[in-house]
């Protein structure tokens, strides 16, 4: 189940209030490879173990929010930093 376009229009990063957009398939491949290798942690420090079928990226490209079972997880500690 994908995030609807209507929901995507109203979602924003809880930290900066920037809009979010769907992660590209290329970015998801890169992220999932790191997850498989056990090399990816959330901003809260937890090891990310579940492969992502969908994710949302903050407009500035610095943060990725996972989508689990069609529900965006818009929590700062659950986000994945894309830029240091």
pLDDT at 19: 97
pLDDT at 1: 72
Tell whether pTM > 0.75.
yes
- Find the domain containing 32 and state its range: 5-81
Q: What digits encode the pLDDT tens for the residues 60-80? A: 999 999 999 999 999 999 999
Inter-residue contact 66 to 80 (CB < 8 Å): yes
Q: What digits encode the pLDDT tens for the residues 7-53? A: 999 999 999 999 999 999 999 999 999 999 999 999 999 999 999 99
Helices marked H in the chain: 5-10, 25-36
* Count of domains for the chain: 1
pLDDT at 84: 63
In three-state secondary structure terms, 35 is: helix
Q: Which two tokens stand for residue 57?
A: 């990226």
DSSP 45: S
């Amino acid at each position: 189940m994908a995030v609807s376009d209507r929901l995507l229009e109203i979602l924003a990063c809880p930290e900066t209030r920037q809009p979010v957009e769907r992660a590209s398939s290329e970015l998801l491949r890169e992220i999932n490879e790191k997850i498989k290798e056990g090399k990816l942690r959330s901003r809260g420090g937890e090891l990310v173990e579940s492969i992502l079928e969908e994710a949302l990226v903050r407009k500035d490209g610095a943060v990725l929010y996972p989508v689990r079972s069609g529900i965006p997880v818009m929590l700062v500690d659950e986000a994945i930093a894309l830029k240091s």
